[in-house]
Structure 1
Amino acid sequence: MIRLPALLLPFVLVLTGCGAPDSPADLAVKQTHKLVQLSPVTVANNTVSYRFPATVIPVKTVELNFEVSGRLTHVDLKQGHLVKKGTLLASIDSTPFERNVRENRALHKQARLELERVQSLYKKGLSPKRDLDNAETQFEITKVDLENSIQDLSYTELRAPFDALISDRLVEKDNYIITGTAITRLQDVSQAYFEINVSERVLAANINNKILSAVASITGRNNETFPLAYIEHTTSADPVTQTYKVTFSSAQPKDGHLTPGIRAAVDVTVGTDNRAGSLHVPLNALQVNADQSYSVWRFAPTSEDSKRGTVHQVPVEVGEITGHMVTISDGVGPEQFVVSAGVSQMREAMLVEAYEAE
């Protein structure tokens, strides 16, 4: 029997009492999740809305006047009233014009009879060509005089050229009217035009954008809106206000007219169609690769815990940069999350945990 020296006996006893060593599974280093900052992938907001004070204006405003002179015998111009196209608004004494028509009609008849007589003689060789020419000329002159007198007679009545609102009455009955004197001012209200003033800054910021929608609301009329269509805008700024006038139109409501001068508010949404559906991520989420392409680290949560998961590098196409956000496409979808801080420290399939600020 081999005897151990008495000096080594205590060490043998200690080793014997320790038991079997740990298994390999117990000796493995436990994996940990790296805290990362995640940001959602959002649908890019490609629109911007503005509200402008507006005023209802007429489609057009015209002044009516007589093209002949005379004394007013009829005036039906009630300011603020709507009139239909063809309504008689005013007339002047037609007696001298009717007399002129009768006179010219008689002269024309006489010239026609004379022409017929000369033509008969000319065919028989009893009248020279000169007499025939004079008779034809006189016939044409009297014809023109008759047509002019009939036209002047029609000018003694002033009728509405379109469905209109009588804005102003500029004369009274029994006044003597000179040709060209304005009688009334009419406004075309077949549609409601809304006019707004847009600052130079707003116009310049949206020069490449389209008007996606425009809606008007009338001051004092709750829950009543009017969809608008763009008509036109001025290209020269007002020298005082440095604003541009923009005009929209709306159909007149069936229960009444939007008369010029009414105050309103116009809500306009502008944007571009070609970027519709693009996505936004924080600028810090982009990683520049060795080939100068771009990628992001997409977060894939586990089924057990939505705050824990892995990250995966996906290539993306980069678009416009707006502030701290960038437009991207491909690789990610809306409502997903990407790493938005420390992207250079990420590795494929790395275990991560979403950081939540307290």
Structure 2
Amino acid sequence: MKATILLLVTLALSVPAHAQDTEDLTPSGDTAPIRAVKLIQAGGGAVQLERVFFGQVAARETVDLSFEVGGRLIMFDAQEGQFLDDGVQIAAMDLAPFERAVERATLQLAQTNRDLTRAQTLVQSNVASATQAENAETARDLAALALREATDALEDAALHAPFRALVASRLTPNFANVSPGQPIVRLHDMSEVRVEIDVPERLFQSLSDVEGIRFVGTSPLFEGEVPLTLREFNAETQSIGQSYRVTLALPSTQVPTAIIPGASMTVTARLRDRDATAITLPPSAVTMTNDGAQVMIYTPNAEGKNGTVGLVPVNVASANGAQITVTGVGPDLWIVGAGIQMLRDGETVRPFTGMSVE
């Protein structure tokens, strides 16, 4: 009888001990609360690979305009900071000397034409040699060339804007005597507004597929993001910082009138994934095991408040070592974003919704 009672007491004490072995307990022996985990939706909340650069607005070209002929400047209508349309006259010289040169060349051409006619008549009458007629023809051609040069000089005595321009600075005062090639005014070509950024050498060489990069710009002058188009890049590094100068273009339909070269703009470069099923995750969401790379997928229960987690093998790659591109996960799944080394396969967890104060 005593042996039977002792056996029953032993079984009664062993049942709670076995139940406690199957539960997570705190150091005091109480049941541990369900862990909260941060979740990332594979098709939505995953981190996108992007880089942010400081950009500076620049003109398409900056040129110093000058006259091809020399003379006295009598008209200079260009104010610094003024926008000029293509073809607008900027400056002009005193035209009187050029007009006299055209008139002189015209009279000389008429005289050489008469000399040529006379020489040809004498040759037909065997009074003069054919060489004299040829010399007269050469003189006529030289006079015609002199007239063309005088006419071109008259046209060059006026300076026009070769493009839609912004006057950067006046380099010569009005009513001054100028020589050929002397800079008169400096213009910014605003027919296409561009943005320049400096890209570090390491990042520039890693992004070989420029077609897969989308550039956008933000500035107080714009509402929201503005798409930018890659135009060119300098194939030589800067003297400081080992960076490459990349030039982007603003769309012509979205250029505000207040924008000028030198203004700042934030440029964001986003890398498009070649694989439509690939997602970008932080390194904390991926664990490496003997079976390869794995992520932990969260599966909610019927009530939706809690769920279980399980490891799933994936394929990983990284272009910069800071973010990992993962394939093999459906876009509608939820991935544990951090702390997966603290969880067990099949463990019950709850989504982290933020800190609460009771």
User: Which of these two proteins has the greater Rg computed from alpha carbons?
Assistant: 1
- Alpha carbon RMSD of aligned pairs, Å? 4.2
1:286, 1:295 within 8 Å by CA — same for their partners in 2? no
Query: Would the alpha carbon gap of residues 147 and 42 (structure 1) be closer, same or farther in structure 2, given more than 3 Å must change?
Result: same
* Corresponding residue number in structure 1 for 2:167: 166
* Corresponding residue number in structure 2 for 1:76: 77
1:287 and 2:288 matched:
no
Identity %: 24
Summarize deviations over 1:89-113 as a string: whole Å, max 9, x none: 1111221221111111111111112
* Corresponding residue number in structure 2 for 1:239: 239
Distance 1:143 1:114 in 2: 14
Offset of residue 337 of structure 1: 6.9
Summarize deviations over 1:271-297 as a string: whole Å, max 9, x none: 244233225773447736xxxxx9999
Distance 1:229 1:168 in 2: 29
Distance 1:102 1:87 in 2: 27
Summarize deviations over 1:243-263 as a string: whole Å, max 9, x none: 322211112646624211222
Map of 1:244-263 to 2, 5 A cutoff?
244-250=244-250, 251=252, 253=254, 256-263=257-264
Distance 1:264 1:299 in 2: 41
Q: Provide structure 1 residue ranges, at least 5 long, that are not aligned to the other structure.
A: 1-9, 11-32, 289-293, 347-351
User: One-letter code of the match for 2:128?
Assistant: S
SS of the counterpart of 2:330?
Answer: coil
1:55 and 2:52 matched:
no
Q: Which runs of 4+ in 1 moved over 6 A?
A: 37-41, 294-311, 337-342
Q: Provide structure 2 residue ranges, at least 5 long, that are not aligned to the other structure.
A: 2-21, 25-34, 353-358
Query: Would the alpha carbon gap of residues 224 and 209 (structure 1) be closer, same or farther in structure 2, given more than 3 Å must change?
Result: closer
1:108, 1:143 within 8 Å by CA — same for their partners in 2? yes
User: One-letter code of the match for 2:217?
Assistant: A
User: One-letter code of the match for 2:286?
Assistant: P
SS of the counterpart of 2:235?
Answer: coil
* Corresponding residue number in structure 2 for 1:99: 100
User: One-letter code of the match for 1:227?
Assistant: P
Query: Would the alpha carbon gap of residues 282 and 43 (structure 1) be closer, same or farther in structure 2, given more than 3 Å must change?
Result: farther
Distance 1:149 1:240 in 2: 51
* Corresponding residue number in structure 2 for 1:145: 146
Distance 1:73 1:217 in 2: 44
2:307, 2:349 within 8 Å by CA — same for their partners in 1? no
Offset of residue 214 of structure 1: 2.1
Query: Would the alpha carbon gap of residues 186 and 131 (structure 1) be closer, same or farther in structure 2, given more than 3 Å must change?
Result: same
User: One-letter code of the match for 1:327?
Assistant: V
1:318 and 2:315 matched:
yes
Distance 1:80 1:337 in 2: 56
Offset of residue 222 of structure 1: 6.9
User: One-letter code of the match for 1:278?
Assistant: A
* Corresponding residue number in structure 2 for 1:116: 117
Distance 1:34 1:182 in 2: 87
* TM-score after normalising by structure 1: 0.70
Query: Would the alpha carbon gap of residues 189 and 204 (structure 1) be closer, same or farther in structure 2, given more than 3 Å must change?
Result: same
SS of the counterpart of 1:276?
Answer: coil
